[in-house]
Each structure stands twice: as C-alpha cells, then as structure tokens.
Amino acid sequence: MKKTERYIHDRLPADFYSRIEKGIFNRNFYPSYSNRKAWKKCLDNPLVGKIISGADLIPENQVPQLLYSNYRQFNVNGNRTEYEALYLRRRMNLAYLAVALCLTGDKEKYLARVLDYTVAILEEGTWCVPAHASWEKDSIDRWRFCDLFAAETGAIMALLSSILGEELEKEIPGIMKTIEEKTLSRTVYAVFDKELFHWWDRHETPANWTPWCSGNCLVTALLMEQNPKKRLAQVKHFLANVSRFISHYSDDGYCPEGPSYYMKANLMVFQTLLILEKAIPGSMKNLFSDPKLKAMMEFLPNVRIGGNNLVTFGDAQPGLRSNPAFILPAGKYFNSEPLLEIACLKEFNIGINGDYLASFLAHLFDRPADLPDNMTVGTSQSVFRNRLAIFRSEKFSVSLKSGNNSEPHNHNDQGHFELFSGDVPVILDAGTGFYAKINFSEQRYTLWNTRGNGHNAPVFGKYEQVYGKDYVSTFTVHNQTLCCDLSNAYPAEAGVKTAERKIEFSDSKVTVEDSFSLKKNLPVTITLLTVCEPVIKDDHTIRLGDVTLSLENISFAETERMPDLAHDRNGKMVCIWGAPVTAIRLKTKKNGYKMTFSLKKQRNVQKKS
C-alpha cells in the first residue's frame, strides 16, 4: 500500500478489517421501518413537517420521464440541465416519499409511490449522467461509467434497502435481489471492471470526485456485498482512495475547489468516517482527533465573510446555504464550535444533488442535541498560506485570493479581493451558475465570470491573467496588512516586471493599493463587480450603499450590467446573487493607484442570530 493510501489505514483499530471480512459490524446505520419506536422519536424534529408536506406535494402517477432525446442534448448543444434536473428530481422525490413513509407509517399512502420511483430508477438505461458519459462523435460510446451521480444513486438504493427493504420485499417478492444486483453492478463492480477506466479511482492527486464516489461506493459495499472477501477488498480499496485525497491536502484544510465543493470534497470525508463509525462504533476515534482532518472540516466556517456569506472563489455560489445534515455531526465528532454554529442559520439546504435520502436520515438521527444559540462574526483572520486570506470585523470584512490559475474549478483570479460591509457584498466575485458543456471545454475562459478581466486584478492593456499552473501569486500578512506579489500571475507578453497589491484593513476603512512596473507603457483597467447601485459622485468618488469608494491616480470610466448567472433554488431559476451584478471599470495610465473604501457613517450592525 502506497504511503498516500495509508492515512485512514494507519489510524484504524487492529481488528477493523477482520471484522469487516467476517461481517461482525452493524449494518443498521439508521433504523428500519419496523422500528416504529425509533421513528416516532423523530416526530418533534422541525424537519419532519417539511418532509411530509414535501412528499404530499409530489404529483401522483407522474414519475419524471427520462428520455434519450434529453440525454443526448449534452452532446448536441452542451445542455446538461435538461436531463440532470429530471434525473435528480427522481432521487429527491424518492427520498421524500420513503422518509415520509417511515415517519408516518402510512403504507397505503406512500409505499406504492416509493416503489414507483424505485422501479423507475432500476429501469434507467444508465445511472451515469450525460456530461460524464463517454461520447464518440455524434453518439454515445460507453455509459457504464460509475460517475458522481451513479455512485450516489448506489448509496441511495443501499440506504433505501436498509430502512425499507422488508416492506418493499413484501410488496414485490424478489425485488431486493434485483436492487442488490443492479446496484452493485452499476457502482462497485463497475469500478473493479478492468475494461472500464475510472480516472477518479486511479488519480494520484484526486479532487472531489474521489471521496464523493468512493464514499458512496463504500456505503453500497458495506450494505449490499454478501461475499466476505469481496467486501473486504472493496472497503480497503475505497478507503485507500479517500486516504489519497486526504494525504494531498494541506494541513490547514484549504479546499482548492472552492466553498461550494466543500460539501462533496472535505465533508464527504467525514460522511465516510461517520458510516464507518456507525458500522464499528469507536473505530474512528483516532481519526476524529486528527488535527488535519479537523482543519479540513472547518474550512467552511473559515471562509465565511460578511456574516452568512462565503468567499466565492472558483466555481462557487454566494451565501451560506449549506446542508447542515453532516456539518453539525462533524462539529460534534470533531469538537468544533465553528461547525456547530451552522445550526444558527435561518435558511439552509436539506439536500444537495441526489443525496436527499442520506441528508434526511442524518438530519433526523445524527443532529447533536446541544447546539449554539448565536453565530459569531468569526475569527478576526483566516489565513491559508499563499492561497486565501480573510480579515473580519462586524463592520467590514475583506478577502484576498492567491495560489495559482490551475486549481480545480479554477477562475483566473490571482489577487482578486472581495469586500463586505456588514453582510452586504460591496465588491464581489461573480462565482458560477448552471454548468453546461462549455464550463469544462477549451472555451471555459471565454466565459466572462471565469476569465481574468471578470475579476479585479489589474489588466495591462489587452493582457489579463490566463489559465495555467505557472501563473501564481503569493502573499504575506503583517498585523492587518496583506501584501500580494502578482508579478508571476501574467503572461510574458504583458511585460510585468513587478506587481504588488497591498490591502490595509481596519474596522471602518479598507485600502487597496496596487503598484507595478512594466517593460512598456500600457493603460491599466480595473473591473469591480457589485450588487450595490453605484452612485458616481465624480471621476474619483463612487458611492456603493453606505460605503464611499475614493480613488487616487485612477478614474471612473464606465459601468456595465453583467449577464445573470443563474441556478435552481426550489425549482425556480434565480440569479445567484439575488440582484443584478454591475461592473465598474476604472482606468489609469499611472504605475500605481489607491482605492479606499470607507463607511459613510457609523452604524449599528446587528449580529446574526
């Protein structure tokens, strides 16, 4: 076993694998339907009403139809959502109906409908979504690949069988064998099929795919594999994958894919450990006390900015609407107050992608009893060395992005800063909307929100930052001052000899100062993005809500309404920022300038509760 594959292995009890092989472990991760006492104990959980009402809103006799004509749209015009939305809706609806059945005990109302969705999912031609299938020119080449959503579907079917298997079998004798065979074939066995190449299963420096797929396949193997030797090999294999993911992470827990992927990257590691803790209680003790793993879990609260917002670097979306189903248990097991504070959110997601069943069960059975009453502003500083820094106060908070322009889900954003006044985004990073084929094609950096001039580092003439691991920046922190070296963040054609961005932070004023030297004289453009309605007082003074931007050696040039980036929230397409994004362009011919953001007046900022 490679050193990078031993992270979990080296912290396990001596008898862990022998118990897995012999079947001496608990398979009842959550109570079965027949355990009515356990389900009745959940009825005072505030989520129960939402689950039951959500189940009752699902139309009867109308399982969303998945057509090949929808599937092929990705290959025809790059559209992902036409098929994925219906695919994920099936899995979400199944979760609502299955858990409503367990909570109410009403088999007459829900059981047949649960089977409608179960049978429909079993009958799907593939569980791999079109964006992850293999296409050859104009037709599909191979779709047996176990992708993110196939692996997640496997875990859904395994958990469904665990809590409702006896009831499904009574209604349709033999269905449990069909579920088991088809689920293992499309997930765990597909990964072990030598004719199929699963890059996430082999990649030495993995991204979110590895823990996402491996964690879900692990659930499937533990609950469904009947052959002891196969089960042992499968558990070892998927834990080696997750270990490799952990091993390549920095000790400070920085998630290079951005805050939106934390749920399926860092936190998927915890979900894997939680399942193993349920299987063999006490077996994860050494891992739950591991400081690196704790830092990985605390990445989310450490990138909070402006109250209940997140720094939106990479393919991220604004707002802290994360799913607390696994965040709160992670807070309990890792003894982390910042994670437990997520319970104070008034709005949160109860499922992400297709994992609603796992989320509902975790919400109902894994939520810690004692939780904080208030959410604090957070620590005064969060610093991920040469990657990201955040300064916070109740009035202002600011972030600076660094690293390189070849991170997973990269945007060309070295030196980009975000600024919040209280919980109001004054200067923002646009983030990302719905994915289409273009997002992961050679045209990715033609998208306005991913390219260099869609961020606020300087653009020298026509030369903006470009994609590549060689385009890097670093920073130093001294008290409340950040100095970022951008001299290696631009292509050679830009002729950048030196370039520095300095941010000086205080409770009521933030100054951003850029200085540089170039091999040739070029005009410089800065693009600031905001959801505030800019009020142009003069060429050097701009009002943004209750913040005044004062300019020195650089002048206002123009504003532009940027295209909306949209996502789906509760079945509705909405702008991710909830308001139009305006680009404010500033220009200069100087080799240095200063932007000062100050509060119009002192004001009371209420703490989030």
pLDDT digit string (tens) for 265-283? 999 999 999 999 999 999 9
Per the prediction, the chain carries an average pLDDT of: 94
Q: How many CB atoms lie within 10 A of CB 174?
A: 8
Residue in this structure with the two tokens 């290959």, named with its chain if needed: 75
3-state secondary structure of 117: helix
3-state secondary structure of 89: helix
Given this model, what pLDDT does residue 279 score?
98
Q: 47-53, long-range: CB within 8 Å, 24+ apart, which pairs?
A: 47/350, 47/360, 47/363, 47/364, 48/103, 48/364, 50/350, 51/96, 51/99, 51/100, 51/103, 51/360, 52/100, 52/103, 52/104
pLDDT tens string 345-356: 877 888 888 899
Q: Which residues of 251-261 are buried (b: 16+ CB within 10 A; e: fewer)?
A: ebbbbbbbbbb
Residue 438 has pLDDT above 90, yes or no: yes
CATH superfamily of 3-365: Chondroitin AC/alginate lyase (1.50.10.100)
Given this model, what pLDDT does residue 601 score?
64
Contact present, 190 and 145 (Cβ < 8 Å): yes
3-state secondary structure of 308: coil
Name the least confident of 137-146, 236-245, 498-507, 552-561. Answer: 137-146
Tokens matching residue 167: 């009831």
Q: Rounded to an integer, what is the distance from CA 399 to the centroid of its chain?
A: 19
* 524 φ, ψ (degrees, to nearest 5): -120, 135
Percent of the chain with pLDDT over 70: 97
Given this model, what pLDDT does residue 141 score?
64
- Sign of the alpha-carbon dihedral angle for 167, 171, 173, 176: negative
Q: Compute the distance between CA of residue 601 and CA of residue 541 in angstroms, rounded to an integer.
A: 16
Contact present, 463 and 494 (Cβ < 8 Å): yes
pLDDT tens string 11-64: 999 999 999 999 999 999 999 999 999 999 999 998 999 999 999 999 999 999
End-to-end CA distance of the chain: 48
Percent of the chain with pLDDT over 90: 87
Q: Where are the domains of the chain?
A: 3-365, 381-599
Q: Compute the distance between CA of residue 148 and CA of residue 153 in angstroms, rounded to an integer.
A: 9
**Average pLDDT in the 578-606 region?**
86
Select from 281, 317, 283, 199 the least CA-distant residue to 26: 281
> Which residues are 474's β-sheet partners?
485
Backbone angle region of 531, left / alpha / beta, with phi > 0 → left and psi within -120 to 50 → alpha? alpha
3-state secondary structure of 400: strand
pLDDT band at 431 (very low <50, low <70, confident <90, very high): very high
**Average pLDDT in the 445-460 region?**
97
Given this model, what pLDDT does residue 605 score?
45
> Which H or E run includes 391?
strand 388-392
* 85 φ, ψ (degrees, to nearest 5): -60, -45
Residue 604 has pLDDT above 50, yes or no: no
Amino acid letter, residue 493: E
Tokens matching residue 85: 């939305």
Contact present, 317 and 576 (Cβ < 8 Å): yes
Amino acid letter, residue 128: C
Residue 609 has pLDDT above 60, yes or no: no
pLDDT band at 380 (very low <50, low <70, confident <90, very high): very high
Helix axes 148-171, 209-224, angle to 10 degrees: 20
Which 3-state string (H, E, C) describes 261-287?
HCCCCHHHHHHHHHHHHHHCCCCCHHH
pLDDT band at 606 (very low <50, low <70, confident <90, very high): very low
pLDDT tens string 176-225: 999 999 999 999 999 999 988 999 998 888 899 999 999 999 999 999 99
Q: Compute the distance between CA of residue 383 and CA of residue 397 in angstroms, rounded to an integer.
A: 13
Contact present, 298 and 253 (Cβ < 8 Å): yes
349, 355, 357, 362: CA torsion to nearest 10? -60
pLDDT tens string 87-102: 999 999 999 999 999 9
Contact present, 79 and 73 (Cβ < 8 Å): yes
**Average pLDDT in the 448-462 region?**
97
Q: Compute the distance between CA of residue 484 and CA of residue 503 in angstroms, rounded to an integer.
A: 8
- Sign of the alpha-carbon dihedral angle for 97, 102, 106, 112: positive
CATH class for domain 381-599?
mainly beta
What radius of gyration, in Å, describes the C-alpha atoms of the chain?
Answer: 25
Residue 210's contacts (CB-CB under 8 Å, 6 or more residues apart) are 200, 201, 203, 241, 242, 244, 245
State the burial class of residue 219 (Cβ atoms within 10 Å of its Cβ: 0-12, 13-18, 19+): buried
Strands 424-427 and 524-530: unpaired
